[in-house]
């Protein structure tokens, strides 16, 4: 790999949109020797996004600042963005260049929406393009995997299938155009605790999602699927069940479940108007919860 000298004028106050991901399905296949789990999942992306402002600065250290509603609980020195910059420097790609990075957190931290992973993936893409790091797709994937499990997924905003085979990610060209209500109950689920206590394990095939599905067939297929972690999440955090059931009871709701290991709950609706009306109902019943109506992108 040929390294190029980086000049400070290359990056000056750029804005990057960092989109949230949603697990429409999640099947736990088996437990690995390293105590992690292999999963299969159908993943889409929604228009809810964090906003990253980045500028090159003359300083020996990076200045990473989190702002916005969901900045609480994020360590300014130990996070996915800091880890990415550290890895790039270890490889000699950024040399002595430092950055001021402000990340406005619109995606709830620890919600299962992959905000931190998205931040790192989108910043990696940006730096690779704007600073001409010359990383090919394989090299980007390798770096992304070192940061976190979900980071490789976020390198491309295409509907994605995790097959459960080691490191296999399949991208779909077809969009889903779904109207989604996201409800965050203002607490974080412990992913480690959930996987440790989860008993639902077994291979399930989701290859039929590779077919050219129209929206009606997709909804029908999703109703037959599930999130294997949901029952465990509900046992540990019973309030999640009430949220899911309330969303499901709203007019025009096709289905409701958690995304990832929670705590965010999603509802897929027949149209935007039903989703907005359901959000009003959620706000009335659970005034302390955060919610947003979103669309897949």
The pairing of beta strand 98-104 with beta strand 63-67: parallel
Catalytic residue check, 150:
yes
Question: Active site residue: 21, 104, 105, 140, which one?
Answer: 21
Catalytic member of 50, 62, 150, 228: 150
Q: What is the 3-state secondary structure (H, E, C) of the chain?
A: CCCCCCCHHHCCCEEEEEEEEEEEEEEEEEECCCCCEEEEEEEEEEEEEEEEEEEEECCCCCEEEEECCCCCCCCCCCCHHHHHHHHHHHCCCCCCCEEEEEEECCCCCCCCCCHHHHHHHHHHHHHHHHCCCCCCHHHHHHHHHHHCCCCHHHHCCCEEEECCCCCCEEEECCCCCCEEEEEECCCCCCHHHHHHHCCCCCCCCCHHHHCCCCHHHHHHHHHHCCECCHHHHHHHCCHHHHHHHHHHCCCCEEEEEECCCCCCEEEEECCHHHHHHHHHHHHHHCCCCEEEEEEEC
User: What is the token pair recorded at 78?
Assistant: 């130990």
Q: List residues with catalytic annotation.
A: 21, 150
């Amino acid at each position: 790999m040929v390294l190029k000298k980086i000049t400070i004028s290359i990056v000056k106050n750029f804005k990057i949109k960092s989109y949230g991901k949603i697990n429409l399905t999640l099947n736990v296949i088996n437990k690995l020797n390293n105590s992690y789990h292999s999963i299969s999942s159908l993943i889409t992306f929604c228009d809810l996004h964090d906003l990253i402002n980045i500028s090159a600065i003359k300083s020996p250290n990076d200045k990473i600042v989190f702002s916005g509603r969901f900045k609480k609980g994020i360590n300014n020195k130990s996070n996915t963005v800091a880890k990415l910059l550290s890895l790039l420097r270890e490889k000699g790609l950024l040399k002595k260049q430092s950055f001021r990075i402000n990340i406005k957190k619109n995606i709830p931290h620890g919600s299962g929406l992959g905000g931190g992973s998205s931040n790192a993936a989108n910043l990696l893409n940006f730096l690779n393009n704007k600073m001409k790091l010359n990383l090919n797709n394989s090299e980007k994937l390798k770096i992304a995997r070192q940061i976190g499990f979900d980071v490789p997924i976020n390198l491309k905003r295409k509907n994605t299938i995790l097959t459960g085979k080691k490191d296999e990610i399949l991208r779909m060209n077809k969009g889903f155009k779904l109207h989604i209500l996201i409800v965050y109950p203002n607490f974080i689920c412990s992913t480690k605790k959930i996987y440790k206590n989860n008993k639902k394990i077994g291979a399930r095939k989701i290859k039929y999602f590779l077919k050219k599905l129209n929206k009606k067939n997709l909804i029908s297929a999703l109703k037959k699927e599930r999130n294997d972690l949901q029952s465990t999440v509900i046992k540990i955090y019973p309030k999640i069940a009430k949220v899911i059931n309330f969303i499901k009871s709203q007019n025009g709701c096709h289905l409701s479940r958690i995304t990832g290991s929670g705590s965010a709950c999603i509802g897929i609706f027949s149209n935007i108007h039903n989703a907005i009306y359901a959000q009003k109902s959620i706000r009335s019943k659970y005034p302390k919860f955060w919610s947003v109506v979103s669309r897949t992108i």
